[in-house]
Structure 1
Amino acid sequence: MIRTFILAAAMTLATTASGFSAEPIVGNWKTASGETAAIASCGGSYCITLKTGKHAGKRIGNLAGSGDSYSGEITDPANDKTYSGSASISGSSLKMQGCVLKVLCKSQTWTRM
């Protein structure tokens, strides 16, 4: 009887804990150039920091949003220019887009690691 109660309590806790998962954007992503970028929660938004490559340790973005749609700013680490940006998630892919004046845009797709 006690064993059944303990097993039921453990299953309830496991089910409840899985309901509190992180935002889909949080985690490590492989960029189009093959580097690793980490996206983490930071002060009500999500910060993008390069973990590998020539610009490792550099913060390259700040996005806000939830679910599968985010917007904010993205910096090109090669020329240090910042653009208005957006991100959308579909499965294990993250489509990043940066625009100048919302007219000239470039995009790339990252994959979850």
Structure 2
Amino acid sequence: MKKLALTAALALFTLPAMAQEDAVGWWKTQVDDGAYAHVEIKRCGDGMVCGWIRRTFNDTGEYQSENIGKPIVINMAPQGNGSYRGQVWRPSNDKIYVGKMEIEGAQMDLKGCVAGGLLCASQNWTRIQ
């Protein structure tokens, strides 16, 4: 009985850690200007995550874009409950925006914002790994 109670107590303490949706992994971007990418997101210092373009695709298949290897998700800091804040780069116009990520399961809502985060454009990414 003590073993069962201890197991239940440990499970309760690990629930908050499991509730935080982790961005680390591989993601497929939404099509933007006729192309999409596979982005690898990894930890990049003091609890933050960053993402780099690893593969690019268009309507004819995979191609070697000049953007492969470039960072697209920059210094995203976790805010709790699958939410992150940092910066995002949009390759099609070569601009960096205030970035917001919301992760729920295998879906990510990624926003690039201006005007202090008041006006945002959004993309939906899907986890592939």
Match of 1:9 in 2: none
What is the letter of the counterpart of residue 102 of structure 2? Answer: S
What residue is the counterpart of 1:105 in the other structure?
120
Per the alignment, in what secondary structure is the counterpart of residue 108 of structure 2? strand
**RMSD over equivalenced CA pairs, Å:** 2.0
Give the counterpart letter for 2:24 in structure 1: V
Which of 39, 47, 64 is residue 37 of structure 1 equivalent to?
A: 39
2:23 pairs with 22, 25, 33, which one? 25
The answer to whether structure 1 residue 74 and structure 2 residue 76 are counterparts is no
Identity %: 37
- The whole-number CA distance in structure 2 between the counterparts of 1:35 and 1:26 is 16
Structure 2 unaligned residues grouped into runs of 5+: 1-13, 57-64
* Whole-angstrom CA distance in 1 between matches of 2:103 and 2:24: 11
- Amino acid of the residue matched to residue 83 of structure 1? Y
CA distance in 1, matches of 2:27, 2:94: 20
The secondary structure found in structure 2 opposite 1:40 is strand
Among candidates 43, 46, 50, match of residue 47 of structure 1: 50
Q: Deviation at 1:67?
A: 4.3
Q: How does 1:60-99 map to 2 (within 5 A)?
A: 60-62=72-74, 63-65=76-78, 66-99=80-113
How many pairs were matched up? 95
Of residues 87-96 and 59-68 in structure 1, the stretch that sits farther from structure 2 once superposed is: 59-68
Specify the structure having the higher radius of gyration (Cα): 1
> Given residue 49 of structure 1, which amino acid in structure 2 is its aligned partner?
W
User: Normalising to structure 2: TM-score of the pair?
Assistant: 0.67
TM-score by length of 1: 0.75
